[in-house]
Structure 1
């Protein structure tokens, strides 16, 4: 399984590089390391949700471990589906 460490600031400037990094790993099982994330912007949240759907459609695993408190709080503040559910993880 490949681990992709997410940037500490996932703002609008990070969206395209994040998408590029994820698509380079398409077809592989991937674990997202969000332990250093301090800020999560809406566009990067959309990239991550889209990636989850892409990985699910491809029959691949996309998981999150570990994540920072800031990442979890900001994910929830957007009103997004619970993190584990959005990434297809068991509750």
Structure 2
């Protein structure tokens, strides 16, 4: 699907683009769960109400995957910058 850059309003609200909502099947009234860490926020469509343990399991899975492909925590900023640059280049 790709990365979308969202803007936070003065009321703290964000808008998920239509394409993103359609891709993951979000409709009016659906719930999203948000997990915040020092590095950012992860949002998931709620199929069932997740527990803190559910988030920990998913986060651990993501960390394991990142380690398996050789990513380190300090690589995150560079990865984000490269994705944003590629997106800008593709939109021109």
Q: Which has the larger radius of gyration?
A: 2
* TM superposition score category, shorter chain reference: under 0.3
TM-score (norm 1): 0.25
Higher relative contact order (CA 8 A, sep 6+): 1
TM-score (norm 2): 0.25
- Whichever structure has more strand as a proportion of its residues is 1
